[in-house]
Amino acid sequence: MSLKIALAQIHFSVGDINANLDRIVNAACHARDHLGAAMIVFPELTVTGYPAEDLLLRSDFIVVANNALYQLLDRVSDIALVIGFPEQDGEQLYNSAAVLHQGAMIACYRKQILPNYGVFDEQRYFRAGHQPCIFEFNGCFMGLTICEDVWQPSILAANKEAGAEIVLTLNASPFNVGKISQREAIICQHVQEAQLPLIYVNQVGGQDELIFDGASFVADAQGDIVFRAIEFQEQISVVEFHHGQPVKADCAPLLTDIVAVYQALVLGIKEYVRKNGFQGALLGLSGGIDSALVLALAVDALGADKVEAVLMPSRYTQAMSIDDAIQQAVALGVTHHCISIEPAVTAFNDLLADVFVGQGKDTTEENIQARCRGVILMAISNKQGKLLLTTGNKSEMSVGYATLYGDMAGGFAPIKDVPKLLVYQLARYRNSLSPVIPDRVLTRPPSAELAPDQVDADSLPPYEILDPILERYIEQDQSAEQIIAAGFSAADVARAISLVDRNEYKRRQSPPGIRISTRAFGRDRRYPITSGYRGICKSS
Amino acid sequence: MSLKIALAQIHFSVGDINANLDRIVNAACHARDHLGAAMIVFPELTVTGYPAEDLLLRSDFIVVANNALYQLLDRVSDIALVIGFPEQDGEQLYNSAAVLHQGAMIACYRKQILPNYGVFDEQRYFRAGHQPCIFEFNGCFMGLTICEDVWQPSILAANKEAGAEIVLTLNASPFNVGKISQREAIICQHVQEAQLPLIYVNQVGGQDELIFDGASFVADAQGDIVFRAIEFQEQISVVEFHHGQPVKADCAPLLTDIVAVYQALVLGIKEYVRKNGFQGALLGLSGGIDSALVLALAVDALGADKVEAVLMPSRYTQAMSIDDAIQQAVALGVTHHCISIEPAVTAFNDLLADVFVGQGKDTTEENIQARCRGVILMAISNKQGKLLLTTGNKSEMSVGYATLYGDMAGGFAPIKDVPKLLVYQLARYRNSLSPVIPDRVLTRPPSAELAPDQVDADSLPPYEILDPILERYIEQDQSAEQIIAAGFSAADVARAISLVDRNEYKRRQSPPGIRISTRAFGRDRRYPITSGYRGICKSS
């Protein structure tokens, strides 16, 4: 008894049901005709893409998504399709998986565990199902599960008890650093406990802030991985089962964390530009490390011919910044422009002189410089239909060390969730492949260059101290006391978290960026702007 | 048997537990000493403020919130406090109401119905309770309920069955147009069915996008309102119960929709400025209707001495725009500045000439003008510590008829959820109180004045057509087919919804604004930016 099952680790487009149907049909025909598969398993909510967010509240959208199943019944034969769709039943909506075969739906399962934490809002849209779904295919009893289900041991155990011999899992499991090994460890533990081979199909691609890494896999009844698809790439693969046991196949190696993050960022840029129909991307290249990394990422994602760099020096820009920026633009072969912001800055300072009479200089004047750069970059973006990439990192976003409508301007912020120290690591990794970022950019002290001889360390603790404090406060929800107890100075902790607390208003207007941590700014972290919470609520 | 129960319709501060404790103690002492109350009922989640959003995921915050109850036990005696708090029990968090009396907690109830739709995310934070909570106080059996609970008939019925004679309801029920009468109608229907008198205490105030309107009330067992507090104002009132039946008291009249919206907007501005510590507010005054209304609202909220208007004419600004703007600023007694943007616009056009060589003019040049205004306004905001109010309305936000970082710049957008036609109605209402907006502003055709002789009607359907299409599409989730079937032209519908679909990226970076509809842009409407959905998903 042999059975070949295909894993469709492919891109889907949120909201574009017709395009997704075409992708399903093409993948199924390929799996049937070229891979000899009798069944193909797709990711979670295949038909609508994931996450479709509040599109799921539109009845027109849901009607089309449900009708799509009937179209698929007609369009593909001689292979079973296991697809995800939002199932309407009366007033209720379920996150469901259907098995379509020879013109009939032979099984339909409703997801039981609906995540409603982090970036997930599934209880906003769906009711939970309450039972396993086992169906027979080619003499084998198979159970259906969806994503969060298999992170709980109880669901696999219930499948086993209900008679399943193989479990199929449809997923849309987003990436963060360390996620792939965590996912495999937890799920394979449950597989081992239930003694039930499992096929795990994850989508791949970028959707706004989320990256789906793929890394689909098959585990045998002992919980050992017998197949793993490549991370961050489309791949339709097939695994053979003999008497219900999977035959060992190719296992793509797990990437290291740095390589995985780099590839996630490249994929995120590529997908956002492609899916939103931009002609390419541009960015302000300052000679600093952040824009240097974003330029390298953009070129790796889109190709040098699609990327433009804009240098915008002021009186405070050091010569080495310009030299290094030009050197990198030339090394990567991208078009670059050099536009001094001085005439615009002078115009604004003159226009405001009467209103500001008698008042000294402060960050207002620094912000004007940053905002003049924002106007220039947005103008080029508007004129050329290119996406403006914002180059700020997570450390800056955390403490508000950025100018709203200035360096924060842009449509997409690739390294918004990357702390400064990780920016350096990623830049060094990229240079290890080929040297594109000048050494001096990696070694000089970081500076915003908005005032004479300014460096970040003037107003912030060193990043070696700041970054771990931020990670503890933002990602781990540690209190100030806990962070101090871990060995950080009370002054540094108070400074860092007070800046985080006060700058929610800036983050609320920041462009979306790629999530690589367990808590990115965006859907993942929903803080009030108006808030009396100040790091520590003293219990008086 | 007589019993006086106080309703504490007051402000609370999200996150500031110590300040909230002081407010609770002050209100309780006032109700005891001046109103003769034996019990005082507070709004939902009194201790933390509502909605505290992801602060509720911080264990330090929850510990302080739970300890706060023990402080209250010590700080107030001789009056029973009914307060809301996030109750930690092991790993679980509940949205709870506690009754504190003479140093002991005599009852504690866990909210059973947790809203997870619209602006609500309660299932992200809380587990649901599973039973009513009845306690005896002064010989009367009282039931505890929290907000969403009483929108369901089953919960009041269960309270009745469990022996309740009076039901207390703690609420944080946000305002939208028509909400107050809807709320009373539904809840009083349930009261009538259960034959159970009900005390409904709602918080009042603004919290980021949400306005809480107060309008606390008491209904007798027949479902008739016997007391209603004033809308949009703090009020601690007392209602007397004889043998479990409420004695008729003052009923503040219900405001008309227009007056209610106007007051909601004024309260929203006032609260955002106060709670975030701004010195006042400023805005760009164009001579158009939107900024005219926002100026009137700001003055009514903050006083003329706290508000500044900035006129920023360009070569496309008509003389009447300047005249009307000055006339209004003078009528309202606010400081105004007039700053021509021409030198800055010229500087940018010159700077970009080389990059744009050979390319014609398009919206890029219009956006540069709007962004120069944004730079000027933000500079004044930064220098003076005043909140920049964004003046765009909901019709513009819907179709993207606004410039990101230009007229969209600002910290708060008071009329972001107000459609253009309602902007006119609100302006006329304000002028009916005292004439502050020049007539011509109300009668001339709306224009962005970014190109010669430009008017909105050049690129958009008239607002009489656009606004109802937008309401159907955005608030009612109607499909294009449904809107066309209601009598709108296919061309207008296609144009409007295609603009809505394509402009999610702008809205994502817009400042928060005041929610007055059943679906505001913000937490209320969570659409993907990257989306293949285009109004109608043709089922091919």
Look up the domain containing A378 and give its range.
260-457
In this structure, the answer to whether residues B365 and B422 fall within a common structural domain is yes
pLDDT at B335: 97
Q: For chain B, how long is the longest CA-to-CA vector?
A: 88
Check whether B456 has a pLDDT greater than 70. yes
Of B457, B487, B522, which one is at a domain's C-terminal end? B457
Which positions in chain A touch B339 (Cβ < 8 Å)?
351-352, 355
Best residue of A18, A383, A408, A483 to probe chain B, by most B CBs closer than 10 Å: A383
Pairing of the two strands B198-202 and B217-219:
antiparallel
Q: Which residues contact B505 (CB under 8 A, 6 or more apart)?
A: A276, A411, B529
Q: Is A130 on the interface with B (CB under 8 A)?
A: no
Q: Could you tell me which residues are beta bridge partners of residue A201?
A: A170
Compute the half-sphere exposure of residue A9: CA atoms within 13 Å on the CB side of its CA.
26
B111 belongs to the catalytic site: yes
| Residue B46 sits in the same domain as residue B130 | yes
**Backbone torsions φ then ψ of A239, nearest 5 degrees:** -125, 140
- Rounded Cα gap, residues A40 and A18, in angstroms: 19
What is the CATH number for A409? 3.40.50.620
Chain A neighbors of B518, CB-CB under 8 A: none
Q: Contacts of residue B22 in chain A, CB cutoff 8 Å?
A: none
Cα B218 versus chain centre, distance:
24
Q: Which of A483, A489, A485, A481 is nearest to A468 (CA)?
A: A483
Element at A301 (helix H, strand E):
helix A289-302
DSSP B49-84: -S--GGGGG-HHHHHHHHHHHHHHHHH--SSEEEEE
A435 and A363 co-located in one domain: yes
Report d(CA A200, CA A214) in Å as an integer.
10
Question: CB of B527 within 8 Å of any CB in chain A?
Answer: yes
Task: Give domain status of residue B496, yes or no.
Answer: no
The alpha carbon of residue A242 is apart from the nearest alpha carbon of chain B, in Å, by 40
Strand partners, B6: B40, B238
Nearest CA in chain B to A341: B351
Catalytic option among B4, B44, B160, B372: B44
Residues A164 and A287 in one domain: no
Q: Which residues of B touch A55 (CB under 8 A)?
A: 527-528, 531, 533
Chain A window 85-124: which residues touch B at a Cβ cutoff of 8 Å? 116-117, 121, 123-124
Same domain, A244 and A280: no
Tell me, yes or no, if B44 is annotated catalytic: yes
- DSSP, res A413: B
State the helix-helix crossing angle for A59-75 and A17-34, rounded to 10 degrees.
20
Q: Are B168 and B248 in contact (CB under 8 A)?
A: no
How are the residues of chain B apportioned to helix, strand and coil, as percentages rounded to the nearest 5?
Answer: 40, 20, 40
Mark whether A275 and A336 lie in a shared domain: yes
Dist. CA A172–CA B422, nearest whole Å: 42
Question: How many residues belong to chain B?
Answer: 540
Q: Is B336 helix (H, G, I), strand (E, B) or coil?
A: strand
ipTM score assigned to the predicted complex: 0.96
Nearest to A61 among B59, B339, B533 (CB): B533
Contacts of B496 (CB under 8 A, 6+ apart): B398, B399, B461, B466, B469, B470, B473
Does residue A445 sit within a domain? Answer: yes
DSSP at A279? S
Chain-chain contact of B55 with A527 (C-beta, under 8 angstroms): yes
Which whole-number Å values give the CA distances from B270 to B19, B84, B303, B414, B536, in the listed order? Answer: 19, 25, 10, 10, 41
Q: How far apart are CA A424 and CA A293, in angstroms?
A: 8
Cβ atoms A212, A174 nearer than 8 A: yes
Are A354 and B367 an interchain contact pair (Cβ–Cβ within 8 Å)?
A: no
With CB atoms and an 8 Å threshold, state whether A374 touches B405: yes
For the cut 90, the answer to whether the pLDDT of residue B344 exceeds it is yes
Amino acid at A380: I
Nearest-neighbour CA in chain B from A434: distance (Å): 30
Asked if residue B485 is part of any domain, the answer here is no
Of B276, B477, B509, the CB nearest to A530: B276
CB-based contact B529 A380, cutoff 8 Å: no
Residue at token pair 């913000």: B522
Indicate yes or no: CB of A374 within 8 angstroms of CB of B371: yes
Residues B269 and B241 in one domain: no
Distance from CA of A382 to the nearest CA of B (A): 6
Chain centroid, CA B313 distance in Å: 32
Residues B249 and B297 in one domain: no
pLDDT tens per residue across span B422-442? 999 999 999 999 999 999 999
Closest Cα in chain B, distance from residue A262 (Å): 22
Residues in chain A with CB shorter than 8 Å from the CB of B362 are 382-383
- CB contact under 8 Å between B382 and A374, yes or no, is no
pLDDT of residue A414: 98
Which of B54, B407, B416, B57 shows the shortest CA–CA distance to B209? B416
Q: Which amino acid is at A456?
A: D
**Domain count for chain A:** 2
User: Which residues in chain B are contacts of A371 at CB distance < 8 A?
Assistant: 371, 374-375, 378, 405
Domain for residue B355, yes or no?
yes
Provide the annotated active-site residues of A: 44, 111, 147
Q: What is the pLDDT along chain A (540 residues), one digit of tens a residue?
A: 799 999 999 999 999 999 999 999 999 999 999 999 999 999 999 999 999 999 999 999 999 999 999 999 999 999 999 999 999 999 999 999 999 999 999 999 999 999 999 999 999 999 999 999 999 999 999 999 999 999 999 999 999 999 999 999 999 999 999 999 999 999 999 999 999 999 999 999 999 999 999 999 999 999 999 999 999 999 999 999 998 899 999 999 999 999 999 999 999 999 999 999 999 999 999 999 999 999 999 999 999 999 999 999 999 999 999 999 999 999 999 999 999 999 999 999 999 999 999 999 999 999 999 999 999 999 999 999 999 999 999 999 999 999 999 999 999 999 999 999 999 999 999 999 999 999 999 999 888 888 888 888 888 999 999 999 999 999 999 999 999 999 999 999 999 999 999 999 999 999 999 999 999 999 999 999 999 998 754 433
> Angle A109-A53-A234 (CA atoms, 0-180°, nearest 5)?
70
Say yes or no for a CB contact (<8 Å) between B352 and A526: no
Q: Do B540 and A18 touch (CB under 8 A)?
A: yes
Among A220, A255, A290, the domain boundary falls at A255
Q: Is B74 on the interface with A (CB under 8 A)?
A: no
Tell me, yes or no, whether A495 lies in a domain: no
A291 shares a domain with A224: no
**Residue B528 covered by a domain:** no
Q: Does B538 touch chain A (CB under 8 A)?
A: yes
Q: Is the pLDDT of residue B529 over 60?
A: yes
* Whole-structure pTM value: 0.96
Q: Do residue A14 and residue B371 have CB atoms under 8 angstroms apart? A: no
A378 vs B: CB within 8 A? yes
Residue A291 phi, psi (nearest 5): -70, -30
Q: Is residue B122 part of a domain?
A: yes
A527 contact B CB<8A: yes
CATH number at residue B175: 3.60.110.10
Chain B contacts of A126, Cβ < 8 Å? none
Taking contacts as CB-CB distances below 8 angstroms, the residues of chain B near A116 are 116, 121, 123-124
Which of A397, A425, A457 lies at the terminal end of a domain, its last residue? A457
Q: What is the DSSP string of B86-117?
A: EEEETTEEEEEEEEEETTEEEEEEE-S----S
* Residue A147 and residue A127 share a domain: yes
Interface size A-B, in CB pairs within 8 Å, comes to 279
The alpha-helical segments, DSSP class H, found in B473-518 are 480-485, 490-502, 504-508
Q: What is the mean pLDDT of residues B19-32?
A: 98
Same domain, B11 and B71: yes
Q: Which residues of B touch A356 (CB under 8 A)?
A: 383
Give pairs for A97-101: CB < 8 Å, separation 24+: A97/A44, A97/A133, A97/A144, A97/A145, A97/A146, A97/A168, A97/A170, A98/A69, A99/A135, A99/A137, A99/A144, A100/A69, A100/A72, A100/A73, A100/A76, A101/A137
Task: Flag whether A526 is in a domain.
Answer: no
Q: Which of residues 39-58 of A touch B (CB under 8 A)?
A: 49, 51-55, 57-58
Over residues B108-134, the pLDDT tens digits come to 999 999 999 999 999 999 999 999 999
- Tell me, yes or no, whether A267 and A247 share the same domain: no
Q: Is the peptide bond before B51 cis (omega within 30 degrees of 0)?
A: yes
